[in-house]
Amino acid sequence: MSTAAKYLLSRSTKNGFFSFFAGFLTITAVCNLQSTTTANSTTCDEFYKVSYNATNPRQNPALVFDCHKSSTSSNARGTEYQMYTFEGRPLKVYAPDHVKKQTDYFGEHCVAEIFSIKSRASEADVVLLRSTSHARTVTGIGRNSRQIWVMQFLESPPNTPGLDFFDQKINYTAGYRSDVDIVTRYGGYQTRTSSNTVKIPQNRKNSALWIASNCWTSNARKKLADELSQFYKVDIFGQCSTGKRSQKFIDELFTSGNYKYYLSFENSNCREYITEKVFKNAFKNGLIPIVYGARREDYEKLLPPGSFIFAQDYSSAQDLANHLIQIDEDENIYASYFTWKTTHQPLDQNIFDRLCSVFNNAPAKTYHRLSPWWNKLDSCETVKAADIWKRS
């Protein structure tokens, strides 16, 4: 059978085995070469953690079976599995919002041709949707039987309407939450293999910066910023203050050296929802993030230790301001917020490498309904203005 052929796997309900139909040959497919088996269970590496080596395809696992998902799981994922072999050509990705001039992605283990022209959608191996507003961009396209659809969640559940349109269409989910198939957060860090010398930002002014376009949110973040500004210098820009500014103006704010802190206040208080407000706006520009949005345990899990200030650790705006003043007056305390850079380094979470792994290694499945899973009750909370300083 040619390398471009498709093999179908069907689940046996009797023995938990898989029947492999290639002529009349039947074999048992159990996970992949990187799996481990015990007497009572089989453990598999998640497919998105397996890098596909295009230079030596024979080294790649033949199949990555999603062991921890079943037909009885709470989010009702499908149980029809398929395996596709690699065809030795660039992965074609239809991404409706892809606007970069560079249309080819050449990763360490992945070569992808990325395009946003709807008329070419039917030839794509993978359709990458980054917004539920993309319904019109996939309506009416001729979807071939091998095409995989991936929904990448970038916004919080309250800001992700219209999921019902994609019921029984999405094969894999991606995004910032741990329960998606392809974890692609806004940023990440891992322990360094060798020590690193870090330069502490010098001569920064004792003030904080906040840039926001959405003022009236479900977590009352504007009230938190306004109250803090009564006790500590906070410069607020964007729609919540001076109106929209140019990108050049915003960039100059970050490089001006006028700030020590950035108010990394999310627009929703949702589990694991930690965005570019921390990774790009604060960390990249040498600012200490004052965080508000996710739970403290989420920040502790996803950010380097000692790298942030959790706003709800403090009983009031004045209490938080007093802590900032204490940092300003003690160089050692200020420097301690940058110690993590000696032990941690950025972690690449590029989605395109993982899309290659999806297409070449992963079993096919379909989400019957996305909304009950993405909008589950414990994922977000609405915060009243009177309760913003209550610890959570």
Single out the residue of 129, 217, 219 nearest to residue 175, CA to CA: 129
**72-90 per-position pLDDT tens digit:** 333 333 222 222 334 557 7
Share of the chain above pLDDT 90, in %: 38
Q: Are 134 and 161 in contact (CB under 8 A)?
A: no
Give the mean pLDDT of 356-368. Answer: 76
Domain ranges within the chain, ordered by starting residue: 91-184+350-375, 189-346
In the prediction, which pLDDT does 224 show?
93
The set of residues, in sequence order, having a beta carbon less than 8 Å from that of 359 and lying 6+ positions away, is 84, 91, 125, 126, 148
- Reduce the secondary structure of 244-263 to three states and give it as a string: CCCHHHHHHHHHCCCCCEEE
Q: Is residue 123 a contact partner of residue 143, using CB atoms and an 8 Å limit? A: no
User: What's this model's pTM, rounded to 2 decimal places?
Assistant: 0.76
Long-range contacts of 147-153 (CB under 8 A, 24+ apart): 147/122, 148/172, 148/358, 148/359, 148/364, 150/126, 150/174, 150/182, 150/355, 150/358, 151/370, 152/128, 152/182, 152/184, 152/351, 153/177, 153/180, 153/374
Average model confidence (pLDDT) for the chain?
Answer: 75
127: alpha, beta or left? (left if phi > 0; alpha if psi -120 to 50): beta
- Alpha-carbon span 83 to 64, nearest angstrom: 9
Decide if pLDDT at 147 tops 80: yes
Q: Considering the domain 189-346 in this protein, what is its CATH number? A: 3.40.50.11660
